[in-house]
Structure 1
Amino acid sequence: MNAPLRRTLVGMLALSTALTLAACGQDSKEAGSTGNKTIGLLLPERSSSTRYEAFDKPLIESAIAGLCTKCVVDYANADGDEMVQKKQFDALLAKGVKVVLLDPVNAQGTGPWVAEAAKRGVKVIAYDRLAAGKVAAYVSFDNHRTGELQGQALVDALGPRAAQATVVMINGSETDPNAAMFKAGAHKVLDGKVKKIGYEQSGEWKPEVAAQKTTEAVNSLGKDGFQAVYSANDGMATAIIGQLKASGVKNVPVGGQDASVEAIRRLLTGEQTYTIYKPYKPEADTAASIAVYLLNGIDITGVASSVTESGGEQIPSMLLTPVVVTKAKIAETVIAGGLYKREDICDPEHAQACAAAGIN
């Protein structure tokens, strides 16, 4: 296991263990409580990123069950629709839920939601994306660092060509504050190291939009007019890579993030250059522990590792560390970290590529 991943996982384990032990102790004290033990969990979408249904939901549910035997998770996914998520949020408040883990579709619009929740004594935890309003806590990864890793991985892929390279950037949704941080981090690295950003648009976290923007980039710059493509996530990278193939564009590095199994397989075949691994279990465990803390009335400011500024408010935060994954690092990152087993990645179609990459 490489040193950055080892440090990341050790630090996350220590934090999660400390929170878990305290939450478990409090749960035993509260065993006779008759209060509402339901924790709301609202996730934003399914189509652009597979992580929410495949990892976040089951991991959070499992972690809460392990911490609080009387707790129930009330889950809903908004499928990318802000108004649907608002109805889901209101429904949780109407049910008397006291803690909500919220990963917002539109983080900029949640201020009134959080204010209404506060009036009812409901604590809102911003999960993965920083929701607007005075949320009780924020659990995510260092998103600016994620963007820096993406940008540097693209520069590394270009090698000596970087200084003369034109780059296409397909960013995430403008309503997602994480996307703004990914973009800023990537620009911090790319600006000055590549010749120019020749085309830059939001793909809105939608593969079909990313494909459309890729077509526009090819039409604007020409098939040979750019040397690399930055994609804010793997879901959009899938569509971008498909569109580049359809347009006859070859040998252009494309990166993403989320370490989806499809992206890892594309690393093996050379279709994708890198992805970003954000260990979901420590993030989910930390969020679950804080939710149980708040449900039991425990102040979490003493265990928050940092503070995030949001709308003039100081939000207790847990910001975890992302890790870049390339073909050469698959075994020591997503496999060593427990995200996937070898058999998850190395299906019959990719068995030979796995062997060539030393994944045995």
Structure 2
Amino acid sequence: MRKGLLFATAAVSAALLSTTVTACGSSGSAAGPAGGKKPKIGVILPDSKSSVRWETADRPYLAAAFKAAGVDYDIQNAEGDKQAFQTIADQMITSGVNVLVIVNLDSGTGKAVLDKAKAQGVATIDYDRLTLGGSAQYYVSFDNTQVGKLQGEGLAKCLTEKGAKNPVVAELNGSPTDNNATLFAAGYNGVLDPKYAAGEYTKGPDQSVPDWDNGQAQTIFEQMYTSRPDVAGVLAANDGLANAAIAVLRKNHRNGQVPITGQDATVQGLQNILAGDQCMTVYKAVKKEADAASALAVELAGGKKSQTGATVNDPTGKRDVPAVLLAPEAVFKDNIQDVVGDGYVTKAQLCTAAFEALCTKAGIK
């Protein structure tokens, strides 16, 4: 099912890009939208603190796709500042963007920006995070409930391998203002809640981390560990939160003994898996996500629209949003090569001196 979804959405992206190329003149500049306005696309990324992916993966992939399509573009990062996010949006709209692609910091700020863009005739795309109550014309992301399900299943697998009996499980959730964090939790709680109810697992501390802040996550997990030093498993919503928990466990000489999940397949997260300090992560092929979003954006900038073949429901806005949803992949030590083989991280980045022997043992090429 997941592979089928991935191939289907990849095909959508390819079709969109093909259409975009057709719309370009021989000189390489894209044909303008209705009214003759030159195509220009603005992208606002959320931060570089919660996850390194925004700058190391999304930015270069998006930039490469826009360059290939021959359109002007402006990619900026709000660095977690809601006021800066709105200021950047205002500047982009004033500068003449036809399309605005955003990764919201929260739905309130995102909605304000999307509504302003709509009022100015600027097309909009929610990238990676759905803005609840917003007005984006498209949503491009991964199946985020499936991401959470993979995390829950991954933790269960690792606890079984550890031979854990009625383990105490702590949950370190993402930001309460991020709809994705809600979807992740729905996915992993769908796996864990029945185990709590059946007495297979014991539900331990369960807390969200404001703004996905890794520093706050470490403080929160320190408190969790103090209240339940018998914690035997941690559902951490991404690799940054996982690393924060690992730091606390290391201080208490329990790193490697307590399975921890993650997400984003960051270099740090993969190295933690190689070292045995992290159980698994979830790999999201960001290039496919960036290519799908850029293809839609280029189409919109050229005054065209496309059918995605799928929708997601916005319960706040009471509407179905046309969507491209890609399939995530669970990554354990034995399939880290999948991430390297995709080019998402390089062997040189991953297999530094401290990890060279571990990489060899894991078959990293």
Aligned equivalent of 1:283: 289
Whole-Å Cα distance in 2 between the matches of residues 305 and 266 of structure 1?
38
Structure 1 residue 346 corresponds to structure 2 residue 351: yes
Structure 1 residue 218 corresponds to structure 2 residue 263: no
1:73 deviates by 1.4
Whole-Å Cα distance in 2 between the matches of residues 125 and 232 of structure 1?
24
Matched to 1:99, the amino acid is V
Aligned equivalent of 2:14: 17
Aligned equivalent of 1:327: 333
Deviates more, 1:126-135 or 1:174-183: 126-135
Whole-Å Cα distance in 2 between the matches of residues 26 and 182 of structure 1?
38
Matched to 2:189, the amino acid is H
Instruction: Give a deviation string over 1:32-51, Cα, whole Å, max 9, x none.
Output: 64523221010001012000
Deviates more, 1:255-264 or 1:188-197: 188-197
Structure 1 residue 252 corresponds to structure 2 residue 258: yes
Q: What TM-score results when the alignment is normalised by the length of structure 2?
A: 0.91
Instruction: Give a deviation string over 1:121-159, Cα, whole Å, max 9, x none.
Output: 011100000123121100000000000000000000000
Residue identity over aligned pairs, in percent, reads: 33
Deviates more, 1:199-208 or 1:276-285: 199-208
Aligned positions, number? 350
Instruction: Give a deviation string over 1:97-121, Cα, whole Å, max 9, x none.
Output: 1100100111243223222211110
Aligned equivalent of 2:269: 263
Aligned equivalent of 1:227: 232
Structure 1 residue 141 corresponds to structure 2 residue 142: yes
Structure 1 residue 49 corresponds to structure 2 residue 51: yes
Deviates more, 1:269-278 or 1:26-35: 26-35
Matched to 1:208, the amino acid is G
1:9–1:317: structure 2 CA closer, same or farther, 3 Å change rule?
closer
Q: Is contact 2:31-2:302 (8 Å) kept?
A: no
Matches within 5 A, 1:1-360: 10-28=7-25, 31=30, 33=32, 35-67=37-69, 69=70, 71-132=71-132, 133-159=134-160, 161=163, 164-193=166-195, 194-204=200-210, 205-222=212-229, 225-250=230-255, 251-300=257-306, 302=307, 304-310=308-314, 311-331=317-337, 333-360=338-365
Instruction: Give a deviation string over 1:275-297, Cα, whole Å, max 9, x none.
Output: 00000111000000000111111
Whole-Å Cα distance in 2 between the matches of residues 75 and 9 of structure 1?
26
Q: What TM-score results when the alignment is normalised by the length of structure 1?
A: 0.92
Instruction: Give a deviation string over 1:25-66, Cα, whole Å, max 9, x none.
Output: 112397564523221010001012000000001100110111
1:184 deviates by 1.0
C-alpha RMSD of matched pairs (Å): 1.9
1:343 deviates by 2.6
1:162 deviates by 5.5
Instruction: Give a deviation string over 1:244-263, Cα, whole Å, max 9, x none.
Output: 11133340011110000111
Whole-Å Cα distance in 1 between the matches of residues 49 and 357 of structure 2?
29
Matched to 1:153, the amino acid is G
1:196 deviates by 2.6
Q: Is contact 2:128-2:140 (8 Å) kept?
A: yes
DSSP 3-state at the match of 1:28: coil
Whole-Å Cα distance in 1 between the matches of residues 151 and 164 of structure 2?
14
